[in-house]
Amino acid sequence: MSAIAIDPLQTLKLARVFPAPRERVFRAWTEPAELMRWWGPVGFTTPSAEVDLRVGGKYRIAMRRPDGGVHFVKGTYVDVKPPERLVMTWAWEGMAGFDDFDSLVTIEFVAKGAATEIVLTHEKLPAVAAASHERGWNGTFDHFATHLGQ
């Protein structure tokens, strides 16, 4: 759960090791039924997840906040290399202050014996969005760890 860097170009890079094989971790990040069990920070739920896992395919994930409000994130897969890497555009849908930019998320799944390190790089973030995205991704990693039984 460590932030590696937020550089002046608003690139956020996080890494964390999870005690599960790389194929299992990749599947949890790419199958809608799995995503709906853990996506978003702790306290959030995921009422829907749509995934067309191929280069040029789209995704759209709903995140329900603890207060009941729902946010949608959507994008297009730019690179898909199971179980090694995902690259996707990232855009908020209908979220005031955040729905006017597209950014890029790269997720690398690195085998570490029986565990998997996720290295997440979120690029092209406006300054006003970097800190909230860092909190969101760290919270999402926490939620994912709970899902895996950590």
pLDDT at 150: 54
**For position 6, what pLDDT does the model report?**
47
Helices (H), strands (E): how many in the chain? 3, 8
State residue 20's pLDDT score: 97
Average pLDDT, 10 consecutive residues per value, the chain (150 residues):
54 96 98 97 95 98 96 96 98 71 93 97 88 94 90
Distance CA 99, CA 102 (A): 8
Query: What are phi and psi for residue 103, nearest 5 degrees?
Result: -125, -175
Query: What gap in Å lies between CA 109 and CA 70, rounded to an integer?
Result: 28
Instruction: Give the model's pLDDT for residue 128.
Output: 78
DSSP string for residues in 47-104: S-EEE--STT-EEEEEEE-TTS-EEEEEEEEEEEETTTEEEEEEEEES-TTTTT--EE
The pLDDT value recorded for residue 10 is 86
The sheet that has 49-51: what strands, in order across it? Answer: 2-6, 12-18, 115-123, 103-112, 85-93, 70-81, 58-64, 49-51
